[in-house]
Amino acid sequence: MFYEDSFYQYLALERRFSPHTLAAYRRDLSQFIAFLDSQQVDSVAVVRHGHIRAWIVQQMQAGQSPRSINRRLSCLKSYFRLLRKRRLIEHDPLKKVVAPRTGKRLPVFVPEQQVNHLFTRVDFPADYAGQRDRLILEMLYATGLRRSELSLLKINDIDLGRFVLRVQGKGGKERIVPFAHYLARLIEQYLSLREKSFPGAAEPWLLLNRKGARMSPESIYSAVHKYLSMVTTTEQRSPHVLRHSFATHLSDHGADINAIKELLGHANLAATQIYTHNSIEKLKKVYDQAHPKSKEDEP
């Protein structure tokens, strides 16, 4: 017995994980349980650190990256913690497990010039879908929202008078995100076109698909990928890249790291500090190019 259904209910109802994160955890745990089944382990009560170590080795031999393995270990950590809390197991099989080491990976972002090209040189169709897609890109870059947060944004969550959004983030945590006056004008123009395209629509969501229903995170991804492909050749062209660009450009222009943390809805500062690395690397490059003694004693 592995109590996986209880774990999924806990993630959905108590931790309030998004459908995307819940699906990832379900996939990770199912994969681990399938491995245990191949080892003739039929109960979580007999799982020991040796089983988890063997599973990690199998993952590495299959070519999985340390980062992917650590994400799956994070799922197991939550899983075993819940089982111990409910006294379904007595020991922690992860206690003697050492996670694979990962190198630091800087966030991928779009340079400011390419973002400017996106909004000044790309022609967005004048119809509803074209103007909606432009608003998607503008909002993601102007606010740093996640695609799931934008998908769930309601018209009533937008205060055009105070220029702020009320956003439901991860774990159901609410935050207030400011936006610039130009974005308020774009939202007003979009809402007028939305009403003409779907007169009397009862849907509360800001973004609607062609059928007048809520636009899904997957559809938002497709729209972003399509238009980012017109201005950048970077391999990653997702909504999260615009979120990274938002935070990186704020950092480059001197924004306080704690303010960036609040805008992004991060739970701790460590998750935000990765954006300072890009700024530091930029400063190093300027220093190396400009300081008269920067090249002394080079080999």
Q: List residues with catalytic annotation.
A: 146, 170, 240, 243, 266, 275
Which residues are within 8 A (CB) of 100 and not within 5 positions of it... i.e. 6 or more apart? 56, 60, 66, 69, 70
CA atoms of 250 and 294, how far apart (whole Å): 27
Query: Of 173, 185, 103, which Cα lies nearest the Cα of 142?
Result: 185
Cα separation, 118 vs 237, in Å, equals 13
User: The sheet that has 158-159: what strands, in order across it?
Assistant: 158-159, 164-168, 174-178
Which pair of tokens denotes residue 136? 């998607």
How far apart, in whole angstroms, are the C-alpha atoms of residue 256 and residue 259?
Answer: 5
284: burial class by Cβ within 10 Å (0-12, 13-18, 19+)? exposed
Give the residue among 279, 246, 286 at the shortest CA–CA distance from 263: 246
Map residue 164 onto helix, strand or coil: strand
Helix (H) or strand (E) holding 125: none
Q: Is 201 left (phi over 0), alpha (psi -120 to 50) or beta?
A: beta
Cβ atoms of residues 77 and 28 within 8 Å: no
